[in-house]
């Protein structure tokens, strides 16, 4: 397959690949840096067993349209691979996370009429359901419960990870989520969808770059909750964000419910080791 991909890239770019170097860090795709005869360089991802690359390309283009924060330019994408601008890494300066927080807040100022997105896509390699009924797409609480939490719960049941306690917890949550999230309503914001420390870069000029999105329009508190899942970003990121776009009262209380979506996804992707965290996040609200 790789030779066919190289042939397609050379045909599209009218250029010759002279060197390929493996890039580590991913668990879904094979990643390579391609050097071309002309001196240009590209970043290639391939090898996923789910057809996520067209969705990734569309998500990057959606983020790029916001002109709030840098994303790699999409060169070419199909079901087998995605070819991107190669971002030359730089060293974050003392203002990096201050800039990052402000730019991320500006991204969230981009709004849509409905929650979700025009296509379903992926969170990691799990399906992410963005297309829903008119009722759900106009109501964040219904959208988040049905398209995010319950989808992951039913997937956990299918995989054999759902205990009686988890089932009972989700049943109770369905009756309580209106109270937990009520009063925090906002217009749908453009979300990266999967922002953690592995999904941003620092470019050659010291500026933040977003990669590997799971784009949709949702509540911005959900995006910020994901940034805290693996220890969080430095405090200046959050203070800069809040200065640019203050969060509604009660956001820290709601944070762990939004985090539950990602922990459930990790349970479904990586196994039972994430079960205790999922159970605790759920039952702390019940």
The residues, any chain, with a CB within 8 Å of residue 14's CB and separated by 6 or more, are none
Q: Where would I find the beta strands (DSSP E) of 78-221?
A: 81-85, 121-123, 126-128, 189-191, 200-202, 208-210, 216-218
> Could you give the dihedral angle defined by the CA atoms of residues 154, 159, 164 and 170, in that order, rounded to the nearest 10 degrees?
-20
CA–CA gap between residue 186 and residue 244 (Å, rounded): 16
CA 128, 129, 134 angle in degrees (round to 5)?
155
| Catalytic residue check, 194 | yes
DSSP letter string over 26-78? Answer: -SSSEEEEEEETTS-EEEEEE--SS--HHHHHHHHHHHHHTTSSB-PPEEEE-
The DSSP letter of residue 144 is I
SS3 content of the chain, % helix, strand, coil (to 5): 45, 20, 35
CA neighbor of 228 nearest in space, from 188, 248, 256: 256
Residue 242's CB: how many other CB atoms inside 10 A?
Answer: 14
CA–CA gap between residue 79 and residue 9 (Å, rounded): 14
Exactly one of 194, 203, 212, 223 is catalytic; name it: 194
The residues carrying an active-site annotation are 194
């Amino acid at each position: 397959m790789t030779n066919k991909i190289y042939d397609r890239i050379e045909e599209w770019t009218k250029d010759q690949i002279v060197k390929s170097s493996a890039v580590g860090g991913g668990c879904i795709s094979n990643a390579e840096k391609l050097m071309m005869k002309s001196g240009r360089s590209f970043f290639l991802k391939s090898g996923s067993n789910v057809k996520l690359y067209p969705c990734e390309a569309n998500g990057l283009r959606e983020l790029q349209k916001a002109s709030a924060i840098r994303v790699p330019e999409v060169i070419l994408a199909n079901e087998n691979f995605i070819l991107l601008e190669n971002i030359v890494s730089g060293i974050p300066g003392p203002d990096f996370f201050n800039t990052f927080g402000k730019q991320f807040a500006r991204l969230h100022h981009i709004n849509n009429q409905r929650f979700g997105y025009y296509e379903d896509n992926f969170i990691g390699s799990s399906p992410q359901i963005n297309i829903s009924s008119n009722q759900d797409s106009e109501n964040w609480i219904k959208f988040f419960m049905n398209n995010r939490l319950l989808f992951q719960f039913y997937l956990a049941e299918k995989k054999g990870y759902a205990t009686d306690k988890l089932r009972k917890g989700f049943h109770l949550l369905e009756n309580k989520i209106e109270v937990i999230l009520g009063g925090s309503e906002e217009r749908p914001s453009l979300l990266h969808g999967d922002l953690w420390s592995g999904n941003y870069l620092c470019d050659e000029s010291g500026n933040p770059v977003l990669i590997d999105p799971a784009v949709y329009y949702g509540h911005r508190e959900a995006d910020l909750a994901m940034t805290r899942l693996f220890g969080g970003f430095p405090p200046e990121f959050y203070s800069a964000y809040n200065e640019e776009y203050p969060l509604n009262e009660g956001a820290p209380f709601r944070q762990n419910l939004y985090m539950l979506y990602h922990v459930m996804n990790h349970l479904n992707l990586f196994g039972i080791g994430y079960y205790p965290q999922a159970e605790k996040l759920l039952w702390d609200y019940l």
